[in-house]
Amino acid sequence: MYKKITILFSLLFSLFAWTESEITPEDLPPWLKPELLVHIAAMNMNEDQNIEFREALKECLVSLQRVVQREIRKGGVNIPKRIERGMNRQYGEFDKRMKESLSEPQYQSWENYLEGLKLVMAESARGR
């Protein structure tokens, strides 16, 4: 009986410790850094725009990864330049897709987010 109570208390205390842990900005993925979340909040998107944003962001991030993999697999010369051009194309498609769903007053916050995204993604890539 004493053993069961000890195990139960151990589980409870570990559960409390686990729920007490905090998420720090360093734990967030690059596209959700606090400096970018400010711009997302400033856009004040409605539900449809939020859905479009999530889908477009996911597609952009997957496409960025594919660009890098494809260019490395192809090999040859000027790989960094080809990767940069491919990534710029993907950011351009992301920009175009989002501007179709955003209204004029939201553009400035969107452009701030996109520029910040490019910076944090480049920093993240350099850190690997």
Mean pLDDT calculated for residue range 15-20: 49
Query: Which residues make Cβ contacts (< 8 Å) with residue 109, sequence separation at least 6?
Result: 39, 40, 42, 43
**How many CB atoms are located within 10 Å of the residue 71 CB?**
20
Dump pLDDT digits (tens) for 81-109: 999 999 999 999 999 999 999 999 999 99
Alpha-carbon gap, residue 25 to 13, rounded angstroms: 26
* Average pLDDT of the chain, as a whole number: 84
- Give the model's pLDDT for residue 12: 46
Q: What are phi and psi of 83, to 5 degrees?
A: -65, -45
Q: What is the pTM of this model?
A: 0.77
Question: What residues does each domain of the chain span?
Answer: 25-126
Alpha-carbon gap, residue 111 to 20, rounded angstroms: 36
How remote is the C-alpha of 83 from its chain's centroid? 19
